[in-house]
Structure 1
Amino acid sequence: MIGYVTLGVSDMERAKAFYAELLSDQGARMLLDMGRIAFIGKRMSEPMIAVCVPFNEEPNHPGNGNMVALPAGSKEGVDAMYKKAIELGATCDGEPGQRIPDQFYGAYVKDPDGNKLAFFVFG
């Protein structure tokens, strides 16, 4: 259903390093780097994250209410992704915790460019 999600960034090298390392434990890697845009994922045929310098060459602006949610597989996975993101330079936007009893466990960060990410597990 989703091919890829693109996040505007101000520093391509920093963004590529952040996302490639953040998602490496899930088997993701840099799949395609075209200079202005780069795709990180497991395979080109599966959902990916793309980071790019905006096409109009204006500064990137994270959207208010926009968020990319990344499945973590387990509560421990949520905790690990949150910790790793913080270590890589993200800022906390909601520590790991049970959000809906017995249904949703999640954590929230903003990447170095201010894009909001969620790490989650249902159940």
Structure 2
Amino acid sequence: MPVAHVTFGTNDLERGARFYDAIMDAFGGARSFAHDRAIGWSFPDGGPSIGITYPFDGEAANRGNGTMFALMAASEQQVRDVHAAALAHGGSCEGPPGPRANGFFAAYFRDPDGNKMNAFCVPAQP
């Protein structure tokens, strides 16, 4: 089943917009829509998109414990760039860029609302 998009709840649309503008720019993505309750980002070549929204039920947004969204990067440098953009725009570090036991090169971070994400790549084998 192909993934079309992922949406995170937010309690501050403008703060979230600054964060996602920065990390999506580091991936080559851009805003695809924006209105007073939600903003979305997509990639020029297609693939899953990301959105943030005020929850429909009017309750406060919160993160799912154990939930994480992984973003595939093209290179180790792009992983570093995305992590740096996340931290520079209100995100917090959950694990700095580096090799992982499973052979990935990854960095972990949370958005300003506490949603956990990671950027990773599978380095070329020598």
Distance in 1 between residues matched to 2:45 and 2:12, nearest whole Å: 23
Cα separation, 2, equivalents of 1:65 and 1:59: 19
Q: Could you tell me which residue of structure 1 aligns to residue 48 of structure 2? A: 47
Structure 1: gaps spanning 5 or more residues: none
> Which consecutive segments of 4 or more residues in structure 1 shift more than 2 A?
43-46
TM-aligned CA deviation for residue 27 of structure 1: 2.1
TM-score by structure 1 length? Answer: 0.91
The match for 1:90 is 91
The answer to which of 35-44 and 51-60 deviates more is: 35-44
TM-score by length of 2: 0.89
Residue 87 of structure 2 aligns to a residue whose secondary structure is: helix
Q: Deviation per CA, 1:37-64, whole angstroms, max 9, x where unpaired?
A: 2211125953100100011110111001
2:100 is paired with a residue of what secondary structure? strand
Partner of 1:18: 19
Counterpart Cα distance in 1 of 2:26 and 2:79: 12
Q: Which residue of 2 aligns with 1:106?
A: 106
1:58 match: 59
Unmatched tracts of structure 2, length 5 or more? none
Identity, in percent, stands at 34
2: CA distance, partners of 1:68 / 1:34: 23
Give the aligned partner of residue 72 of structure 2. 71
Determine if the alignment matches structure 1 residue 6 to structure 2 residue 7.
yes
Query: Which residue does the alignment assign to 1:119?
Result: 119
Aligned partners of 1:82 and 1:109 also within 8 Å: yes
- What is the DSSP-based 3-state SS (H/G/I as helix, E as strand, rest coil) of the residue aligned with 2:121? strand
In the superposition, relative to structure 1, how do residues 64 and 76 fare at CA in structure 2: closer, same or farther (>3 Å)?
same
1:113 aligned counterpart, secondary structure: coil
Matched length:
122
Secondary structure of the corresponding residue to residue 77 of structure 2: helix
- Distance (Å, rounded) in 1 between the aligned partners of 2:47 and 2:76: 23
